Amino acid sequence: MFAVHLLAFHFAKLKEDQIKKVDRYLYHMRLSDDVLLDVMGRFRAEMVKGLGRDTNPTATVKMLPSLVRSLPDGSEKGDFLAVDLGGSQFRALEVKVFNDGKQSSQLESKFYPTPKEVIQGSGAELFSYVADCLSDFMESRNLKHKKLPLGFTFSFPCKQNKLEEGVLLSWTKHFKARGVQGTDVASSLRKALQKHKDIDVDVLAMVNDTVGTMMTCGYDDPRCEVGLIIGTGTNACYMEDMRHIDLVEGDEGRMCINTEWGAFGDDGALDDLRTEFDRELDLGSLNPGKQLFEKMISSLYLGELVRLILLKMTKEGLLFNGKVSAALLTKGKIEMKHVSAMEKYKEGLSNTKEILTELNLFPSEDDCIAVQHVCTIVSFRSANLCAAALAAILTRLRENKKLLRLRTTVGIDGGLYKTHPQGSAKGAAMVTAVAYRLAAQRKQIDAVLAPFLLSLETLRDVKNKMRTELEYGLKRETQDRATVKMLPTYVCGTPDGTENGKYLALDLGGTNFRVLLVKIRSGRRRSVRMYNKIFAIPLEIMQGTGEELFDHIVQCIADFLEYMGIKGARLPLGFTFSFPCRQASIGKGTLVGWTKGFKATDCEGEDVVDMLREAIRRRNEFDLDIVAVVNDTVGTMMTCGYEDPNCEIGLIAGTGSNVCYMEDMKNIEIVEGNEGKMCINTEWGGFGDNGCIDNIRTKYDKEVDEGSLNAGKQRYEKMTSGMYLGEIVRQILIDLTKQGLLFRGQISESLRKRGIFETKFLSQIESDRLALLQVRRILQQLGLDSTCEDSIIVKEVCGAVSRRAAQLCGAGLAAIVEKKRENRGVEHLQITVGVDGTLYKLHPHFSRILQETVKELAPRCDVTFMLSEDGSGKGAALITAVAKRLHNIGQK
């Protein structure tokens, strides 16, 4: 028994000695954690360099866009072919994808050799061979009678501008076919296939093997967003945010980036880690100085690396008694399969002895232990370097998503790490299936959004129709049937800077009501100071009786006067009443009809100033001098006119939509007098109520109209104002979900709720600064469980709806500025438009699109847009002040 223990101790000591000997000899290949962290940092820097337009040309890690923008979602279906070229064997596959709710697929494949004379011959011969093999495969599977789409896995660096094409940048591994570099390899394959008249194959997608691996795993696990190949070659891909990819247009969504990390270090970035053996191996390769990272990692090179180490150790007398065999001197005699066999846990030593004996080396027990450890060190370094670069990619993914901890899946293929033996080839079929799905979905989405894309011709038609309605509204005989009512406001002047004093202002037009005290100072120290208080108007008041509404308004005024300590003062008051009114004077306004959710009874057809005075008398606590009742658009124009005398147009683009402008009295037949000007409140929200713009109204506009409080009314406003745009978006999202294009085809309870999409959400979703992940969070807040692809579609829908709104608004405004130009009888008009409203102020693109449309449709008008500062409050006070000034002039 003692002898057995002694022998075991001796063997363990012998093994330990041999391991230490190899460790000392190959200490440069044993990488510490600090070194690996440094490699990770270097690789991250190269990724950034590869993604930048200016830095990409000098980057070694090329970060090639794959044009693959979506992972499988389980709805793919159909029969697909795939071919896989890039490894030690060529494969042809038939993949059947089933949309049966189980995300299942069926795969049949056949392997073909890749002879040296083919892969290092001419390009024409190579692709002819691929086509011949595919034809043979289709013959064996009885597929020649079918027309099938094909995905082409091509495992070499390619630049892609389309999913179905790819220009070879350089050969790697042991491939060296002539005349292929710099050409479109997908086109070369198509030409070779065309020679086979008995098959009909459509090359729809070309992908790298890493992309194929990611897509294969992504079909089974939706969290998979990284693909990794560790086999004959090595590479990785991952899903990158489009906003970080300078090499392609657009910043929405994500795209798979093929890193081509095998070239990492080609610029010398890894020279401090490369050993003499790495350099010798590189010099003897087909592509010296290229793919240096790959040559430290992939199975094509690890066997040769082991051979070079063993050769030098033998020459130095550290192995095999210093005796070198002819086999050990022969390049390629040790392959990766030998390294793997020698490293095996139990039979590793016996495998080592057998392999070394076949190489005529006659190893001792010591030699076998040492050689086995050499293999382990080479393999460990390979795995560590691969892990360091992979950690860099995972860290970038985590930071892109702004997470403290990332949960993701990495799809892996390759002889060194076998998990999905058919991954890359099946993945090409999956990419093709996804491309098929996305193309079909794209057609459906385009069909839904097509009516929202207005041509220049259509916008000119809208402008001309608006101009016609403006003229109808101004003429006595046609005013009754005009949809644009062109209501006189009896505001006959704009501020001239002499306005002075204290004024009260009321602002009613939304769910909140404001009371303001406005102090206007004239002279050199001209200024306007405002004090205000906001009061809520409950829904039951908005839709109750008129008496209840005006009693509530007077209650708010009383609270404000008490709050400001001015209850006894009889101040002049301007009343901003943002609803269509027909005025007989500046101090009288008869309500034509409620809009924006108001529905108080016994108000329409009544003078709102009289109703306010009656409510004040009922309360019997204070008295006010009600001078003017005005629309918010008029207040906006007056506020900007106080700063810019050239401002003669006011525009509201917010909860509602309206415009006013100063019209020559001679053109206003519905009031007496021909001298001077008067501000006309167009009330253009009713444009189209006679059906003149039904040709551009969509089914979604009609659904929103039918569900509104004033069905059939304010049709133009319902296409242009913030109160309705969100509801149009909701109707579209419901339709797209019903078609299975959004939210996995499931209409959530929240999506069924009217009003879930407010204007502010549209503005947030369309913001250029908002990453797609944040869009998803907004949708989640609204109770909508979305994917990345859902977020892209929702953003596109919001963009189409808001763009149309801005264009329609611009077309209407172009009609008015053109009318102003003609009124003045000038060839070229310079004018300022005062603007207010949340849609114009807060939406990221609305103002720009509106301005561009006006410029396009009214090219002879130079329009300046000026943001109003509280037009509803300050404007009402200024109108009151101007009215008092003009009244005093009239008395004198």
The set of catalytic residues is 514, 578, 632
Give the whole-angstrom CA distance, residue 370 versus residue 628.
101
Answer for the pair 181, 168: CB distance below 8 angstroms, yes or no: yes
**DSSP tag of 344:** -
Three-state SS string across 810-867, please? Answer: HHHHHHHHHHHHHHHCCCCEEEEEEEECHHHHHCCCHHHHHHHHHHHHCCCEEEEEEE
Phi, psi for 626 (deg, rounded to 5): -80, 105
**DSSP tag of 607:** B
Residue with tokens 């003692």: 2
Bridge partners, residue 412, by sequence: 228
Give the whole-angstrom CA distance, residue 209 versus residue 414.
10
SS3 285: coil
Helix residue spans in 344-501 (DSSP H): 348-358, 365-400, 423-449, 456-474
Distant-in-sequence, close-in-space partners of 495: CB < 8 Å, separation ≥ 6: 638, 641, 642, 878, 881, 882
Give the whole-angstrom CA distance, residue 879 versus residue 882.
5
Give the whole-angstrom CA distance, residue 141 versus residue 24.
56
In order of 463, 625, 854, 858, the CA distances from 827 in angstroms are 19, 44, 17, 12
Distant-in-sequence, close-in-space partners of 285: CB < 8 Å, separation ≥ 6: 295, 301
Give the whole-angstrom CA distance, residue 259 versus residue 766.
30
Answer for the pair 566, 618: CB distance below 8 angstroms, yes or no: no
- Please give the full DSSP string across 620-673, using - where no structure is assigned: TS---EEEEEE-HHHHHHHHHHHH-TTEEEEEEESSSEEEEEEEEGGG-TTSS-
In order of 131, 133, 582, the CA distances from 196 in angstroms are 8, 11, 79
Give the whole-angstrom CA distance, residue 218 versus residue 606.
66
- The count of other CB atoms within 10 Å of the CB of residue 827 is 7
Bridge partners, residue 725, by sequence: none
In order of 468, 624, 758, the CA distances from 637 in angstroms are 23, 25, 27
> Could you tell me which of 63, 493, 95, 527 has the C-alpha nearest to residue 264?
63
> Could you tell me which of 256, 247, 262, 304 has the C-alpha nearest to residue 280?
304
SS3 502: strand
Bridge partners, residue 516, by sequence: 505, 532
CB-based burial of residue 752 (10 Å sphere; 0-12 exposed, 13-18 middle, 19+ buried)? exposed
In order of 276, 594, 608, 762, the CA distances from 837 in angstroms are 71, 19, 24, 15
Within 86-146, strands assigned E span: 89-98, 104-113
- The count of other CB atoms within 10 Å of the CB of residue 564 is 16
**DSSP tag of 325:** P
The H or E element containing residue 265 is none
CB-based burial of residue 447 (10 Å sphere; 0-12 exposed, 13-18 middle, 19+ buried)? exposed
Q: What is the CA radius of gyration of the chain?
A: 38
Give the whole-angstrom CA distance, residue 488 versus residue 313.
102
